[in-house]
């Protein structure tokens, strides 16, 4: 699980007084984990998504280039 509270703490500290090199690395790592989590969740939803074709049948979405 991504620690959003810690991301927010580091963002506030960065604005108020700046971050140490260690904190900057931690912030970058946490942000990357957060983005990867969001992208993974979205991909999971889209992998299970269907659209209707012109005949009203459900068609599973394909990734672009998978045709």
**Phi and psi at residue 66, to the nearest 5°:** -90, 5
Cα distance from N-terminal residue to C-terminal residue, the chain: 34
**Domain residues of the chain, as ranges?**
4-60
pLDDT tens figures, 24-40? 999 999 999 999 999 99
Calculate mean pLDDT across residues 8-30. 96
Q: How many CB atoms lie within 10 A of CB 34?
A: 14
Q: Is the pTM of this model over 0.85?
A: no
Calculate mean pLDDT across residues 47-54. 92
E strand spans, 14-65: 50-52, 58-60
The CATH class, in words, for 4-60 is mainly alpha
Give percent above pLDDT 70 in the chain.
97
């Amino acid at each position: 699980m991504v620690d959003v509270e810690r991301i927010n703490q580091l963002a506030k500290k960065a604005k108020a007084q700046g971050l140490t090199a260690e904190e900057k690395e931690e912030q970058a790592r946490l942000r990357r984990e957060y983005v990867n989590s969001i992208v993974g969740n979205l991909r999971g939803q889209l992998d299970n998504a269907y659209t209707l074709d012109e005949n009203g049948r459900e068609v599973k979405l394909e990734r672009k280039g998978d045709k």
